[in-house]
Amino acid sequence: MRILSGVQPSGKLHLGNYFGAMKQHIEDQDAHEAFIFIANYHALTTIQDAGRLRELTRDVALDYLALGLDPKKACLFRQSDVPEVTELAWILSTVTGMGLLERAHSYKDKVAKGISASVGLFAYPMLMAADILIYRSNLVPVGKDQVQHIEMTQDMAGYFNNTFGREVFVRPEAKLNEAAIVPGIDGQKMSKSYGNTIELFEDPKSARTKIMSIKTDSTPVDAPKNPETCNVFALLRLLASREELAEWERRYRAPGMGYGDAKKRLAELFEDRFGPARERRAALAKDARRVEDVLADGGRRARAAAEPVMQDVREACGIIKAGRT
Ligand code: ADP
Ligand code: TRP
């Protein structure tokens, strides 16, 4: 099975990104042939500052490597190192109706929020379909918000195959993570755009300050509390062992526990989990060459996988590449 997923380099990665996406990508490297890429063409729809895009792209690579992605097992690369995806996106655009893209929730949501839409933002799902189809990916691990984009990819694969009468593309399936939506410090979905994140690699003091400020209700210490509705408990669920979580649940439901105790423990667990990765990241960051080598090598491997598929695509639709008969 070939697994593929992408992450946009559009800001500092946080606990929601980790438990919603990255953790699964890293685990998948052992069971599947994994392709993980940094979607820098996609990020151009929001980041329009060359230096910052380069820096954020490198940051995502460092984050993955520090968190345990092994470039010998998984292929980690920059989307733009396989420029053929933009060629494929164009070809897909010629078999895709406007109506399909007009129905995209993520596009409609952004427009509803007053973001002025570029053609690139509108065409975003087409480039995402090209990302997936160009590697004949079988499974695409994503969060719930991306499922519609995978369904659109299935449609586009079908349109192409039907139009040209050849099974050039395989049908990809979304692989959903069981991790629910990770709440931010204000209780809404943790998201860069809400300013409520706990970043994976922020310094321990500021992470602790944020954890201590997580919103809780005003149940007094001597009253029992409901773990199911508590933002702190939702994060403990992700970081504590099963035994420890059961113990916290018992403490929540009995009088005498203060939310401050749970927050302090959460800060320790956060540090236990991400402290070692922070050190690995700092060491890797000093070796700029190594990160570049990993990405360049991943890009070569990904391009080699894409090339025969593009030949099939060009042949199927009659675009003859120079040098071929
Ligand atoms: P953000 O909302 O911070 O901009 P993205 O939209 O770039 O995050 O999400 C990148 C990936 O991380 C997606 O697969 C998404 O499903 C996942 N993700 C982001 N925030 C959360 C969250 N709070 N809980 C679970 N998964 C999340
Ligand atoms: N749209 C995805 C996100 O915002 C990122 C992405 C781009 C992607 N291309 C992809 C994810 C292909 C999976 C497969 O999270």
Pick the catalytic residue from 110, 210, 225, 263.
Answer: 110
* 139-142 sheet: strands from edge to edge: 75-78, 33-38, 2-7, 139-142, 173-176
Residues 111 and 243 placed together within one structural domain of the fold: no
- For residue 120, pLDDT beyond 90: yes
pLDDT at 134: 98
pTM of the complete model: 0.94
The domain containing residue 227 runs over which residues?
201-283
Give the model's confidence band at 236: pLDDT under 50 very low, under 70 low, under 90 confident, else very high. very high
Whether residue 105 is found in the same domain as residue 217 = no
Q: Is the CB of 42 under 6 A from ligand 2?
A: yes
Domain count, the chain: 2
Instruction: State whether 275 and 295 are in the same domain.
Output: no
**Residue 175 annotated as catalytic:** no
Query: Looking at residue 205, what is its pLDDT?
Result: 96
Closest C-alpha to ligand 1, atom 6: 191
Half-sphere exposure of 155 (CA within 13 A, CB side): 19
Does residue 215 sit in the same domain as residue 158? no
Please check whether residues 145 and 205 belong to one and the same domain. no
Q: Do 275 and 296 lie in a common domain?
A: no
Is residue 325 over pLDDT 60?
no
209 and 172 in a common domain:
no
What kind and span of H or E run contains 288?
Answer: helix 288-317
With cut-offs at 50, 70 and 90, classify the pLDDT of residue 145: confident
Cα 312 to ligand 2 centre (Å): 24
Compare 114 and 253 and report the one with higher pLDDT. 253
Report the pocket of ligand 1 as residue ranges, CB < 6 Å.
Answer: 7-8, 16-17, 20-21, 142-143, 145-146, 181-182, 189-193
Q: What is the mean pLDDT of residues 116-133?
A: 96
Which of 191, 200, 231 to probe ligand 1 with, by most ligand atoms within 8 A of CB? 191
Amino acid (one-letter) located at 316: A
* CATH of residue 228: 1.10.240.10
Ligand 2 lined by 140 (C-beta under 6 Å)? yes
Q: pLDDT band for position 181 (50/70/90)?
A: confident
Catalytic one of 12, 23, 73, 189: 189
- What CATH number did the domain enclosing 95 receive? 3.40.50.620
Mean pLDDT of the chain: 95
pLDDT of the residue at 127: 98
Task: State whether 275 and 299 are in the same domain.
Answer: no
